[in-house]
Structure 1
Amino acid sequence: MSTARTGLPAIRISSDTSAFPYTHRRGHRSAIRISRIVSETFRLGLPGVRWFVMGDDDTVFFPDNLLTVLNKFDHRQPYYIGSLSESHLQNIYFSYGMAYGGGGFAISRPLAEALARMQDGCLRRYPALYGSDDRIQACMAELGVPLTKHPGFHQYDVYGDLLGLLAAHPVAPLVTLHHLDVVKPLFPDARSRPAAVRRLFDGPVKLDTAGLMQQSICYDGANRWTVSVAWGFAVLVARGVMSPREMEMPARTFLNWYRRADYTAYAFNTRPLARSPCQKPAVYYLSSARHAAERGGGETTVTRYERWRHPNETRPACRWDIADPDAHLDHIVVLKRPDPGLWDRSPRRNCCRVVSAPKEGKSGEKTMTIDVGVCREGEFSQVAAV
């Protein structure tokens, strides 16, 4: 089928790499072929191309956010942009200075040109390396170009549930997701893993890509609840006061790449899951997303989140004199204006405000409304308000 008729890029077959040595006992020599893709693509000419971006076949890219990140850098300078593994041991085995291929990385045109000139000789000097990404990094070391780390590229060398990581996403654009075939579906009520990804792209990504997964933290003083919104994904409601310092730290809903429940195995701070039934948050996952016209003109996004209960979930009794969100709250509606210039400003979490406490609708279900947006003058997450 003609690629011109389908709109897909032309198919290219990479060059023969059988002459290059490969001695790693556990790897596969296809790593050499993959590592040469940037060089071979550069040699195609491709006028006007500023960046060469690599990712695995199981890497999900958010193109608008990728462009936002790359536009921050001068494409005329040599840049190697990506991020590390979440696994401390993976980074020790490979490198803390390497952009992991599953998380994806970007190489500017001048650097791609320099790489194309020297890569074949470089590859012959590192036959014992495992993969394509560490071969790229070895050549970058010879060129003297360090990794420019960006926290929006996600290798996700973890197993289990990404909820803890995504609900406390760094204050940075979400650029990639990886290993979605290994972890649980992003939305537990989705029919499949691909269906869960489509829910993101069909709703929040279309409405406000810049704000996807961005966390905001606020408090419902009347009910004494802590509320954490990961916009376009999930809302967590916990009884009592949890400080922003705690909430912005990922909860360990996942296991590390070596399947150990060992919190020292991560290359970042985490917090344990709550053991007390009183402290376990209620989780509300995205169910729908739409635009709504405002009275004075303009548009706002309306995202709705539904309480998720595992079929075998039980809620042990809690003796706290604080209302249980699981019993008093069925849905959460979040109002947010699209903010395409979010990343043109200095990084800062959005602020959220509880517009209305849980109200019972015609169906008998109780809904809370939350507003999310740029923090107003003097506004911050007030723990003392609870």
Structure 2
Amino acid sequence: MNHRLFTSGFGFASLKKIPKSLRISTMKSNFKDPEHPWTFSKLMVMFFLLISISYLLYSLKFITSSYTCNPNPHTTQHHQSDSVAIFPSGLTPNLREKTNLSHIVFGIAASAKLWNQRKDYIKLWWRPAQMRGIVWLDEPVEIDPEDEEVLPQFKISSDTSKFKYKNAKGNRSAIRISRIVSETLRLGMEGVRWFVMGDDDTVFVAENLVKVLQKYDHNQFYYIGSSSESHLQNIYFSYNMAYGGGGFAISYPLAKALEKMQDRCIQRYSSLYGSDDRIQACMAELGVPLTKERGFHQYDVHGDLFGLLAAHPVAPLVSLHHLDIVDPIFPKVSQVEALQRLKVPMKLDPAALMQQSICYDKNRSWTISVSWGYAVQIFRSTFSAREMEMPSRTFLNWYKRADYTSYAFNTRPVSRHICQTPFVYYLSYALYNPFKNETASEYVRTTPNLDCKWKMADPSKVERVEVYKKPDPHLWDKSPRRNCCRIVPTKKKGTLVVNVGLCEENEIVE
């Protein structure tokens, strides 16, 4: 910057080149010349004024350039390259669009030996026109032409013989399964936000899975799933591990980070048992903890799931697993037929599926528990909500023992008193009334009459229960709370009518 001192064209630098005597005499002559408009004092004032104005202009320019409004102040060349990796080339994503099924890619671990009996589970929840995913098999299988239209794409997992496996009780297929997320990532699908892992005997409730994933920023590192129902299983493996059969979700950037280091990682953990503990070991090295969602169900139990399903936690039902091990969830039908029946309420109101409501028929001293879309129970006498929200022990633990201390949650015993045995009504049908914006579901009793001597109203006279409820797709956008149920007066013989819905102001279960 060159501040001019004289109008004659001499700058500050050129002034230094003039002999000192000439400079002084010139200044003195100007000072003494009454006709010259500039005096020495005026020149000094102008000098400092010009410097001040120039400095002020320079400062304003600096401030303006430093604080220019940047719509994306964090965007650098490095961040731009990262966003290209998150959203592959050729795709222009709508960043404000909520996560939906098109943003999810499923990786399904399957076995060639069990394929023919387990493919029907996948057919129950898979939607070819709306979903993307791969069934990863260990060996080629013969695929029916009809199955190709209703099932995901099939691929054979890559060879894993170069990896060490030293667990004497396990199977080295665990290495293959642990690499499914990475192998799916390498396929280069566009617009992926989440990779969801599951087994071939896992059933997902798609709408509830989407609702859970919408809560999280897919641009961040997230590892989402749940633990085992078995306390001992969690101790043997980890409470910080998402169990693969129950399913888990990994965000795209985390999957990308995992893929870069996973092969080196799993070599370090050759003594581990399964695939999901290998995933968790790598997550620990990446520093990413498990984000627990209670709706992913491993079901490391045996026997009847009724107690667990009838008292489902206040969380969206996302998955069911180990369907070959447990009893059919509806009586007197196969497991696939039972799950087929569950698809009806799943379609009508997925957010409410299996959600428990508790209310009391005070005139008859009954306790009513509604597990919407599944079953209704009527108990003689009054049971507190605290008791009713605990699953009853209708099942055995993973080691086939009736040991309540082996569960990772509270349970209550099945009453041995004949008068406190619940009357159970299973879903018969469900339909939607568009004029009332209401679902109607019927539940029919399956338990026999019981010879109770108590002098009180007998539930055996109730043959069916009708439940009316308005669907609430935004149920899980609110703070978690059980719906309330109310007994509705009716003249229908042998019928109990119940209304289920959001709790009204000051409405409590007492």
Alignment TM class, shorter chain as reference = over 0.9
User: Residues 239 and 25 from structure 1, CA distance in 2 versus in 1: closer, same or farther, beyond 3 angstroms?
Assistant: same
Say if 1:50 and 1:108, in contact at 8 Å, map to a contact too: yes
- 1:257 equivalent in alignment to 2:413: no
Match of residue 320, structure 1, among 454, 457, 468:
454
**Structure 1 residue matching 2:454: 3-state secondary structure:** coil
Q: Deviations over 1:318-356 (max 9, x none)?
A: 232221212x20000000011000001100000000012
Q: Distance in 2 between matches of 1:10 and 1:48?
A: 18
Instruction: Choose the corresponding residue for 2:365, options 206, 224, 230.
Output: 224
| 1:199 paired to 2:318 | no
Deviations 1:108-163 (A, max 9, x none): 00100000000000010000111100000000011010000110000001111111
2:476 to 343, 359, 371: 343
Question: Offset at 1:8?
Answer: 4.5
Distance 1:79 1:135 in 2: 17
How far off is 1:199 after superposition?
Answer: 0.3
Distance 1:324 1:256 in 2: 33
2:443 alignment counterpart: 305
1:89 counterpart (232, 235, 254): 232
Do the aligned residues in 2 keep the contact of 1:218 with 1:227 (CA within 8 Å)? yes
**For structure 2, which runs of at least 5 residues remain unmatched after alignment?**
1-143
What are the equivalent positions in structure 2 for 1:364-383 lying under 5 Å apart? 366-382=494-510
Q: Could you tell me how far 1:2 is from its partner in structure 2? A: 8.5
> If the length of structure 1 is used for normalisation, what is the TM-score?
0.92
**Corresponding residue pairs, total:** 367
Deviation at 1:10, TM superposition (A): 3.2
Structure 1 segments of 4+ aligned residues over 4 angstroms from their partners: 1-5
* Structure 1 residue 241 corresponds to structure 2 residue 382: yes
Q: Distance in 1 between matches of 2:202 and 2:445?
A: 29
Letter matched to residue 393 of structure 2: R
How far does residue 77 in structure 1 lie from its aligned partner after superposition? 0.5
* SS of equivalent residue, structure 1 residue 283: strand
Distance 1:124 1:18 in 2: 12
Match of 2:58? none
Q: Deviations over 1:267-305 (max 9, x none)?
A: 0000000111111110000000111244xxx42100000
Measure the CA separation in 1 of the matches of 2:206 and 2:148.
23
- Residue 164 (str. 1) matches residue 304 (str. 2): no
Q: CA deviation at 1:241?
A: 0.4
What TM-score comes out, normalization by structure 2 length?
Answer: 0.70
What residue number does 1:178 align with? 321
The CA deviation at 1:314 is: 6.8
* d(CA) in 1 for partners of 2:411, 2:462: 28
Return closer, same or farther for 1:273/1:3 CA change in 2, 3 Å cut-off: closer
Structure 2 CA distance, aligned partners of 1:250 and 1:13? 40
Check the 8 A contact 1:220/1:357 in 2, yes or no. no
> For residues 131-150 of structure 1, what are the structure 2 equivalents within 5 Å?
131-150=274-293
Contact 1:3 1:10 in 2 (8 A): no
Structure 1 counterpart of 2:297 = 154
C-alpha separation in 2, matches of 1:226 and 1:370: 12
Instruction: Specify the structure having the higher radius of gyration (Cα).
Output: 2
Give the number of the structure with larger relative contact order, counting CA–CA contacts within 8 Å between residues 6 or more apart: 1
Structure 2 counterpart of 1:318, which letter? C
Structure 2 counterpart SS, 1:12: strand
Distance 1:356 1:213 in 2: 24
RMSD: 1.6
Query: For 1:245 and 1:358, how far apart are their aligned partners in 2?
Result: 32
Conserved 8 A contact 1:358-1:368: no
Q: 1:10-56: CA deviations, max 9, x gaps?
A: 32222110000001111111110110010111111111010000011
Distance 2:375 2:150 in 1: 34
Specify whether residues 307 and 117 from structure 1 end up closer, same or farther in structure 2 by C-alpha distance, changes over 3 A only: same
Q: Please list every run of 5 or more consecutive structure 1 residues that lacks an aligned counterpart in the other structure.
A: 361-365
Tell me, yes or no, if the aligned pair for 1:329 and 1:358 is still in contact at 8 Å. Answer: no
